[in-house]
Amino acid sequence: MGGLEGFLETFFNGAIFARYLSDMLAGVWVTIWLAAAIIALGLAVGLLLACLRSYGNGFANPVIIIFADLGRALPPLVLILIMYFGLPGLGIRLPGPLVLILVLGLVLAAFAEEIFWAGLTSVPKGQWEAGRVTGLGFTQTLIHVALPQAIRLAIPPLVNRVLAISKMTALGSVIGVSEILSVASSAQSFSGSAAPLTMGAIAYVIVFVPLVILTRILEHRYAWKV
């Protein structure tokens, strides 16, 4: 078997592709809904924490800052292993997908909070004062005046962070979550062929390249024009 023929047989084996196609499609679906749940949780919690921080509460603000710092500093894999293997020692057992959603969602929330907060602090003080002068309360000014501007400022850095953390669904393979990498690795072990890993790479391209393109579009659309 020649070099090219052997390469194709190893990485693009049609029989292996056909055998594990249904399993890979199931893994793609798991990856998609996990990523969607992580993004929804992370953005919602991050935005809420940034808004709460704007009130300047002497108790809540240090807690939010500590959460954001720890979430950005600790490796997500360590947090996943602690939650999945450590919590059962306390009598708390969480399924793998829920652990992945909670950990990655909160990690994204830590980054999102800092990004949204940077956006809020970038809104000119005069905008806040203008809202208050027109009779709006602080919360109304936050929601109707400051927040729309802050979100626009936050979109370019936020979409990159969302993309980076969404791809971390692959960490679910270490706790038995049947996402793309887990399915590909299992199929590779049973088949003795590298073809399932090629299938996994193709699946990641199909799932995440559209998200990369969307990220580029959003960055271009919401970037400040000089």
Chain segment 124-163, per-residue pLDDT in tens: 888 887 877 887 888 888 888 889 888 888 888 888 888 8
Q: Determine the pLDDT at residue 80.
A: 94
What is the domain partition of the chain in residue ranges?
15-222
Q: Determine the pLDDT at residue 12.
A: 84
The answer, as to whether pTM is greater than 0.85, is yes
Of 150, 112, 156, 113, give the one whose Cα is nearest residue 128: 150
Q: Which residues contact 81 (CB under 8 A, 6 or more apart)?
A: 174, 175
For 147, the token pair is 């927040």
Mean pLDDT of 40-47: 96
Q: Determine the pLDDT at residue 226.
A: 42
The CATH number of domain 15-222 is 3.40.190.10: no
Using one digit for the tens of pLDDT, what is the confidence trace for 11-40? 888 888 889 899 999 999 999 999 999 999
